[in-house]
Amino acid sequence: MPNPNKVQEKVFQSPSKYIQGPSAIKNAARYLSKMGKSPLLIVDNFVYGLAGKALIDALESHDIHVTHGKFGGEASAEEVSGLTRLGKESKVDFIIALGGGKTIDTAKATADALSIDVAVLPTMASTDAPCSALSVLYRPSGEFDRYAFFNKNPALVMVDTSIVIKAPARYLAAGIGDALATNVEARRCMNSLNFGGGQPTNVSAAICQKCEEILFKYGKMAYESNKAGAITPAFEAVVEANTLLSGLGFESGGLAAAHAIHDGFTAIHEVHSLMHGEKVNFGTICQLLLDNTPLEEVDRYLTLMRSVDLPITFAQLGAPNVTEEQLRKVAELACRPEETIWNLDIVINEDVVYNVLKAADAVGRDFMRRTEAKSP
Ligand SMILES: [Zn+2]
């Protein structure tokens, strides 16, 4: 039921400040010094070597005393409580998240537990996690646990594109997969409640459309630029689409089937190594089929997806031998009462989802056959 309590207010929410550019970390103190004097920096060991040390040096030289909080790898309740304890003991006055989606989600939950602000510094453009006031928490095993909602969005989001360009292009592609779902889902949520608890505004619809437009225009070029290690206007545009536009768009626009199906896929062992946006991408194909989208239009999306090597079949997801039992499980999880699939105004049940999963794979395989036959 899209809007069970008949809420009439429209709600739009976002971070207070967004900064993006190739020397953002070097200039971090200029922006972060306004937030406090003793932050807790949450970063994993790999990113610490890549950018964490440089960030600490840049901040310490401006009299900002950094407590180093090591992120263990999973955005779980256990990880959040350990970092919350460290933050309390060290009397930190704000949180800095430096890393990928799971680091960011953990840091947002830690900041909420401590009732302090968080600055989010993504080191890759692989998800729409940075800007929103919610986290996706997982069990230590990697299975989806729940959405956690916070009172505040991050106070600041800062993307250093000279760091993001160093991540493998597959991460950018995963971000494109996540961002491509944004408009496909939000346009079906215009009469539903968004993550702010209100109806979507016109500005969120415009952001979702712009996000999709940028991906179709520049996604492929940005992917190739990333492979070459070259920061280009196309790369900057897609980083912004993946991070800012997709983030604002999904939070204030709403999610539907693509993300619910992603959440279902987290229960299948074979696809655990895949990134969030890669699983969401398959969910987007399912959503397009649920929307009864004509073939020509579905092909337009599939063409973009394959141009950046996103998975469109079970085999490409790493599960060529997926069983009926596994697909029934995905459908069951996608249809949990708290899932976003209920934002759709069509009849949804586990059988409908099970069928669309099989159909999406068939459409993907057919697309591969047709396009492979055409290529020399
Ligand atoms: Zn997402």
Structure confidence at residue 375 as a pLDDT band (50, 70, 90): low
pLDDT tens-place string over residues 105-128: 999 999 999 999 999 999 999 988
* Measured distance CA(170)–CA(365) in Å, rounded: 21
* Measured distance CA(73)–CA(130) in Å, rounded: 17
Please report whether residue 2 resides in a domain.
Answer: no
- 132 and 183 in a single domain? The answer is no
- 301 and 320 in a single domain? The answer is yes
Please report whether residue 5 resides in a domain.
Answer: no
Q: Enumerate helices (H) and strands (E) in the chain, giving the number of each.
A: 15, 8
Number of domains forming the structure of the chain = 2
- 174 and 160 in a single domain? The answer is no
CATH number at residue 65: 3.40.50.1970
- 143 and 245 in a single domain? The answer is no
Q: Is residue 262 among the annotated active site residues?
A: yes
Torsion of the alpha carbons at 331, 337, 342 and 343, rounded to the nearest 10? -130
- Distance between Cα 247 and ligand 1 center (Å): 8
- 315 and 257 in a single domain? The answer is yes
pLDDT tens-place string over residues 203-223: 999 999 999 999 999 999 999
- Distance between Cα 209 and ligand 1 center (Å): 16
Please report whether residue 9 resides in a domain.
Answer: no
Task: Tell me what pLDDT residue 34 has.
Answer: 94
Domain boundary, last residue among 101, 134, 164: 164
Domain boundary, last residue among 114, 143, 164: 164
Residues 117, 128, 259, 263: which is the catalytic one?
A: 259
- Distance between Cα 176 and ligand 1 center (Å): 10
Please report whether residue 209 resides in a domain.
Answer: yes
* Measured distance CA(244)–CA(179) in Å, rounded: 10
Query: Span 14-30, mean pLDDT?
Result: 94
- 51 and 114 in a single domain? The answer is yes
Structure confidence at residue 73 as a pLDDT band (50, 70, 90): confident
List the 67-70 sheet strands across, edge first.
17-21, 156-160, 117-122, 94-99, 39-43, 67-70
Q: Which domain holds residue 269?
A: 169-374
Domain boundary, last residue among 164, 191, 214: 164
Burial, 151: exposed, middle or buried (Cβ in 10 Å; 0-12, 13-18, 19+)?
exposed
Please report whether residue 305 resides in a domain.
Answer: yes
Q: Is residue 276 among the annotated active site residues?
A: yes
- 292 and 340 in a single domain? The answer is yes
Report CA-CA distances (Å) from 314 to 25, 276, 318, 335. 39, 15, 6, 20
Torsion of the alpha carbons at 254, 259, 264 and 270, rounded to the nearest 10? -160
* Measured distance CA(245)–CA(70) in Å, rounded: 29
- 3-class SS of residue 52: helix
Q: Is residue 65 among the annotated active site residues?
A: no
- 128 and 86 in a single domain? The answer is yes
- 158 and 201 in a single domain? The answer is no
Please report whether residue 88 resides in a domain.
Answer: yes
Return the percentage of the chain with pLDDT > 90, whole number.
Answer: 87
Please report whether residue 131 resides in a domain.
Answer: yes
Residues 105, 178, 263, 361: which is the catalytic one?
A: 178
Please report whether residue 158 resides in a domain.
Answer: yes
- 33 and 129 in a single domain? The answer is yes
Q: Is residue 178 among the annotated active site residues?
A: yes
- Model confidence at 1: pLDDT above 80: no
Structure confidence at residue 3 as a pLDDT band (50, 70, 90): confident
- Cβ-count burial 239-261 (b if 16+ within 10 Å, e if not): bbbbbbbbbbbbbbbbbbbbbbb
Task: Tell me what pLDDT residue 372 has.
Answer: 85
